[in-house]
Amino acid sequence: MGIHDRILAAPGQQGAVTLATPLDGRPTGHEVSPTTPTVGVPAKRSIRLTDTHRIGCAVLLGLAIFGFDQLSTASTMATQLYPAALLVLFGVQVRAAIAVAWFCSVILIVTGALLAPGRVIELESGRALSLVMVSITAGALVKLSEHERGLRWDALVDPLTGVFNRRSFLEFSAREEARARRVGTNFAVLMIDIDHFKRINDTYGHHVGDTVIKELAEISTRMLRPSDILARYGGEEFVVSLPETDADQARVVAERLRAAVEAAAVISDDGAIRFTVSIGYATCSHGTPLREAMERADQALYAAKRNGRNRVEASAASVSDDAAPASGDAPAAEAAQAGQAVLVVDDEVEIRELLAGWLRDSGYRVMTAPNAGAALRLLEAEPSIGLLLTDIVMPGGIDGYDLGRQAIALRPNLKLLFMSGYNTPAAQGGGSLANAPLLNKPFRMSRVLDMVAFALER
């Protein structure tokens, strides 16, 4: 049973997705996690260990309350504790558990009434109240559990397409990465992007663009195995994790998917609309963590865009040593030939090293600095630096714009590219540098490479 057979189904959802039989020689799938969700398939649950603990606790509580009830012959206070036995069942995956617990509680209350000696009307009215309280508690738990399942569903999937969202993809793929390392297998990552999506939105409207995105999700779901993990990564971009898949098999899967999208059409008021996708892929092995494989696949996607779109490209690490590199990054090659280097300035070491890695993989020479002072010293010492890529907000009293002005005064021909995580106008505080290109965080590698190439060509 694969990942798409284990998900918590959406409330009220009864449909199932038809999945294609793999024709690429890959295994048909494996069980990823007993609690991993899937989209569009009715749930098939097994009792988890935590559920077993909760059910056992509810049983023990119910028996203890029944025993206390038999010892307390002059009061029905014990029977009013039965709702507490039901409360421990909140969150169990076995939906019938609450109904069974309610039925057992009713049986125990009635049995206690029949066994209690010297019954009086006051005592029996107290038991009747206990029955009402148990019924109300059980009904409330069912409603709350359904609401919780809906919230969990919303947290896992993309609302437009019904496939995984970015957060759940990273979570489940990390589990798959750990499993692959444990058993010694590889897996591949595909990055998929719709070609000329902005043109589709501008020509036909955003509602048609949404339909195109949903069509891509449906085609991808049909073409993949149950154990493959498909997610909408952001905008018109999708990502796929392919367990037990090597580079050759990943290319077959990507080509099949690309061809299926090319053959499909979306029906709109303006007629049939055809679209294509570009796909980049990379493999994840013992020496390549998931994050790095995703970055390489994104770089390969960028190469597919640069090389004409509607094509599949492999990352440089996913092709044989004697094969031509997949990257078609002409600006990077020209910058390297010209001896120009890129200086990356950011006070956050993770972002600084991430950007440096992406740029180096694309052929750029890269230097880094944690603050404005270190950047200015490098600019004075390294005449080969042709582009300053700097964050706007930095500690130390000198922001990115101040650094840019001082850098231009020092090197008039230096190219500038700013980056910021704040959703504020680029011109704010920029003064004469307000028209310099701005890279918004968070960013994808393809966007970073596009903006660096654009800045160098200005």
Residues 6+ apart with CB under 8 A from 308: none
Going by pLDDT thresholds of 50, 70 and 90, the confidence category of residue 121 is: very low
Q: Burial, 19: exposed, middle or buried (Cβ in 10 Å; 0-12, 13-18, 19+)?
A: buried
Distance between CA 364 and CA 267 in Å, rounded? 44
pLDDT tens digits along 15-51: 333 334 444 556 554 433 333 334 333 333 444 557 7
Give the span between the Cα atoms of 279 and 72, in whole angstroms: 72
Q: At residue 7, does pLDDT exceed 70?
A: no
pLDDT digits 0-9 by tens, 285-325: 766 778 888 989 999 999 999 899 999 999 876 554 334 33
Q: Which of 65, 63, 64 is nearest to 77 (CA)?
A: 65
Bridge-based pairing of strands 277-284 and 312-314 is: parallel
What residues pair up with 240 in beta bridges, in sequence order? Answer: 190, 230
Say if strands 229-234 and 237-243 run parallel, antiparallel, or are unpaired.
antiparallel
Distance CA 230, CA 17 (A): 13
Q: How many CA atoms lie within 13 A of 400 on its CB side?
A: 29
pLDDT of residue 147: 79
Give CA–CA dist 456/388, Å, rounded: 10
Report the pLDDT value the prediction gives residue 24, as an integer from 0 to 100. 54
Query: CA 370, CA 332: separation in Å to the nearest integer?
Result: 24
User: At residue 278, does pLDDT exceed 80?
Assistant: yes
- In contact, 386 and 456? CB cutoff 8 Å: yes
Average pLDDT (371-387) is: 89
Per-residue model confidence (pLDDT) at position 351 = 82
Q: Tens digits of per-residue pLDDT, 46-77?
A: 445 577 777 888 888 888 888 877 777 555 56
Provide the 3-class DSSP secondary structure of residue 340: coil
Describe the chain by its helix, strand, coil percentages, rounded to 5. Answer: 50, 15, 35
What pairs with residue 192 in β-bridges?
Answer: 238, 279
**What pLDDT, on the 0 to 100 scale, is given for residue 217?**
95
Which backbone phi and psi does 445 adopt, to 5 degrees? -60, -40
